Structure 1
Amino acid sequence: MTRTETPRADISAGPGRWLVLAGVWLIYFCFGVTAASMAPLVEPVGDDLGIGNARMGLILGAWPLAYIAAAIPCGILLDRFGVRRMLFVATLVMAVSGLARSLADSPTQMFLAVALFGLGGPLISIGAPKVIARLFEGPARGMAMGVYVTGPYLGGILALALTNSVAMPLAGYDWRGVMLIYSALVAASGGIWLAIAYAPVTAWPTRDDDGGKKFNLGAFAELVRVPEVRLILGMSVGIFYINHALNNWLPEILKGHGFSPVEAGNWAAVPSALGIVGALVVPRLATPERRLKIMALLFAASLVASLCLHFSSLALILPGLIAQGIARGSMMTIAILILMETPSVPPERLGLAGGLFFTAAEIGGVLGPVAFGVLSALGAGFALPLVSMTLVCLILFVIVARLRRAAASA
């Protein structure tokens, strides 16, 4: 018996797809808010709960750790129940995580509250590309991807720049109230998503999968056996080590150089703002023939940032913030493009490859915040953590060189 294919929804050729894109963007925006919300509050949370830098690093790395465990099951759930339902579930999980943070009375409770966020994260980072792939084709697909990836960057900017200057005063300078505000924002995005996803103008077929092969462990094993894929996965670990470490600890690094909490939050938002520009511009310049060269330049920019952040002078720090902002917005996107265009990765496995990419990458997402916290406690400052970032950049240069050799011999 042959399986009857569900016809592609009319939405893929109509204006309703842009409304769906707006809904996906909003969810990803709230993802960015939630992911960055702890960074500006490290000091008050630590003082209230008696958490030092080493333990705070473990807490900040809790959600990427949970993400690693949840990525494959979330992929299966997306295939089983559809993107519309599971993106709504993702907003509920994020909102509950924010609520649980506001109620935490011990380091263990805070660890579990932050980890809960990681259970919903894969539903977004795997589900969003499935939506884009289903509703957009050709050049419109590239533009749609560029649009939705700006969501987490803008969310991160809001959390970093406005937490201490706006949200804290609104909450009576109570960090728990800030967590509640952000939790309510995420919950509202879930309601908006339901209204968009089930509106008549955005009607989808009953089965809103993309007709591709399903998530399964055997398919992941096939991909991991490809040498180029292993190199790209190693690259993803390094990229997320850098991004997650600075996403969580940059305000504290700047405060260590004498910046006030508000100033540190504002300057820490600079890389996120520039990341939007990088996400929209740099991948377009990274054509296949020069993609690895541009990736090497982005790693060089991260290397510059790791060196500049050792200094206390804003004149030396600012070039590092600019360099890291451009790199932050582009490294992940270009790495995914390299993976998707690897000849050994068949088109029907692209969704699986994306899930595998994020599963591996979040190993770096855990190691970055944890290593920065532990090393800062050992060295009584952020010199050692920044040295670790420099070493990761050097390893990434080696990976790019090996990928170039593999491409030349193909």
Structure 2
Amino acid sequence: MTADSGGELTPDASAFHAPTHPYRWAMLAGVWLIYFSFGIFVASMAPLVAPITAELGISHGAMGTVLGAWPLVYIGASLPAGALIDRMGPRRSIMLCTLLITLSGILRGVADDYLSMFLAVAVFGLGGPLISIGAPKVMSLWFEGKERGIAMGLYISGPAIGNIMSLSLTNSVMMPLYGGDWRAVLFTYAGVAVLCGVLWVLISAHPASRTMEQQIAAEPKRSQIQVFGELLAEPVVRLILVMSVGMFIFNHGLNNWLPEILRTGGMDAATAGFWASVPTAVGIIAALTIPRFATEDRRLLVLGLLILSAGVATMLLHLSAGPLLAIGLMCQGVARGAMMAVSILVLVESRGVDSRNAGAAGGLFFSAAEVGGVLGPVLVGAIHDLTGGFAASLYMMTAICAALLMFLSWLKRLM
């Protein structure tokens, strides 16, 4: 047993040190699986827009609000999710995440009108923060030093691979397999989430995970208002939150509009789709390799190079073809794959943040960042309508990258 009847830790549990325990890699694998299922659902609706709008009789404008339902809920749910993770511990909170992802998938499959589909997608916004925030919480508990960067890079690849599989297999394999029944496709993806959830339950039931849970339960609990107040009192935390908005404007703005940017540059739809997949593929490689180099002595340097890569991408995307465009797409992929992971690493390693309040810090990060996640696609679309092209939007993103570099120099002085 790890705790006595009064809930106090036994000497064995008190001496438990997760960052040196071999089971930390199994916990990482469990987190990866849940984040993978999250990534599948993030991208699951885009390939199904045509059959869903046709069957439910809704316009593309209405479908746009359906696709945007979960990020809006995500913003509001991030702060309470972070607090919940710090109190419940990651084992149970990530389990809850799996239930909500599965519920969203099932509700999408049975939706029969605009409102029911909107609410089904919105439920996903309740589960999303639990894994987005819970994953770095697990990394802060089970890893330290250089290994923490490696672990963050590995788990970030989960949603990216889920995205790619969903986008590439939905129309080429799943829809033909089910005779064009989009509801069956969504039920299948819900089944994948269930399988990942079962594996997480089995992995997190290990005695080492239970011991960690006892350690979290034994920590003194503080008012979440006090926790958030202490975090926001740290200038480094506030600055990282501001920077996260700009980073997500870049990521989400380009992620959503890149195929159209390439198409208006002269590519046909199929070619644009192929080239638009380049940043995703490069991003997976970047997520797996770059964060491990973000050690304490060069973390800000790595982040600066990633921001610079993002800026170069926004300039080269003005081109319509050629090797420089390919370089721009690869630069976008490098920034897309590693910038968020390294930013979170800077946050959880900053003054005033530790494993006890990493969930709350993650909640603040994603609450701020997803404002940029919503603004990015909206700004790019609105500027396009005003100017008749994407050049002004790309100039805006270049300016944001320049501002991020200035903020980074300020951050360096504060740390």
TM range (shorter): 0.7 to 0.9
Please tell me the root mean square deviation across aligned C-alpha atoms, in Å: 3.3
Question: What is the 5 A alignment of 1:297-316?
Answer: 297-313=305-321, 315-316=323-324
**What is aligned with 1:324?**
332
**What is aligned with 2:105?**
98
Matched, 1:30 2:37: yes
The alignment covers a number of residue pairs equal to 405
Distance of aligned partners of 1:370 and 1:96 in 2 relative to their CA distance in 1, 3 Å threshold: farther
Distance of aligned partners of 1:298 and 1:79 in 2 relative to their CA distance in 1, 3 Å threshold: closer
Which ranges in structure 1 are unaligned for 5 or more consecutive residues?
A: none
Query: 1: distance between equivalents of 2:35 and 2:335?
Result: 20
Query: 2: distance between equivalents of 1:85 and 1:264?
Result: 42
Query: 2: distance between equivalents of 1:17 and 1:345?
Result: 21
Q: 1:191 aligns with which of 195, 198, 210?
A: 198
**What is aligned with 2:8?**
4
TM-score, reference length from structure 1: 0.84
Residue 244 of structure 1: CA displacement?
Answer: 2.2
Matched, 1:402 2:410: yes
Query: 2: distance between equivalents of 1:74 and 1:221?
Result: 16
Distance of aligned partners of 1:304 and 1:101 in 2 relative to their CA distance in 1, 3 Å threshold: farther
Q: Deviations over 1:257-294 (max 9, x none)?
A: 56666655443332222122222332333444544343
Question: Residues 310 and 386 of structure 1 are in contact (CA less than 8 Å); yes or no, is this contact kept in structure 2?
Answer: yes
**What is aligned with 1:241?**
249
Query: 1: distance between equivalents of 2:83 and 2:41?
Result: 24
Question: Residues 383 and 393 of structure 2 are in contact (CA less than 8 Å); yes or no, is this contact kept in structure 1?
Answer: yes
Query: 2: distance between equivalents of 1:116 and 1:261?
Result: 32
Distance of aligned partners of 1:222 and 1:77 in 2 relative to their CA distance in 1, 3 Å threshold: closer
**What is aligned with 1:161?**
168
Query: 1: distance between equivalents of 2:382 and 2:64?
Result: 7
Distance of aligned partners of 1:89 and 1:390 in 2 relative to their CA distance in 1, 3 Å threshold: same
Query: 2: distance between equivalents of 1:102 and 1:9?
Result: 48
Which range moved further: 236-245 or 200-209? 200-209
Query: 1: distance between equivalents of 2:164 and 2:294?
Result: 25
Distance of aligned partners of 1:134 and 1:405 in 2 relative to their CA distance in 1, 3 Å threshold: closer
Query: 2: distance between equivalents of 1:293 and 1:79?
Result: 30
Question: What is the 5 A alignment of 1:108-257?
Answer: 108-199=115-206, 203-204=210-211, 207=214, 209=216, 211=219, 214=222, 216-256=224-264
Distance of aligned partners of 1:25 and 1:347 in 2 relative to their CA distance in 1, 3 Å threshold: closer
Q: 1:358 aligns with which of 358, 366, 369?
A: 366
Q: Deviations over 1:225-271 (max 9, x none)?
A: 33332221110111112222333333444455566666554433322
Query: 1: distance between equivalents of 2:49 and 2:312?
Result: 26
Residue 42 of structure 1: CA displacement?
Answer: 4.6
Distance of aligned partners of 1:202 and 1:260 in 2 relative to their CA distance in 1, 3 Å threshold: farther
Is the partner of 1:209 in helix, strand or coil? helix
Which range moved further: 126-135 or 354-363? 126-135
Query: 2: distance between equivalents of 1:101 and 1:166?
Result: 20
Q: Deviations over 1:49-94 (max 9, x none)?
A: 5434x65554433322211211222233334433222212211211
Distance of aligned partners of 1:215 and 1:326 in 2 relative to their CA distance in 1, 3 Å threshold: farther
Query: 2: distance between equivalents of 1:207 and 1:170?
Result: 46
Residue 137 of structure 1: CA displacement?
Answer: 4.2
Distance of aligned partners of 1:174 and 1:148 in 2 relative to their CA distance in 1, 3 Å threshold: same
Which range moved further: 209-218 or 179-188? 209-218
Q: Deviations over 1:368-398 (max 9, x none)?
A: 2333344455556544544443332233233
Which ranges in structure 2 are unaligned for 5 or more consecutive residues?
A: 1-5
TM-score, reference length from structure 2: 0.83
Which range moved further: 89-98 or 302-311? 302-311
Q: 2:289 aligns with which of 275, 278, 281?
A: 281
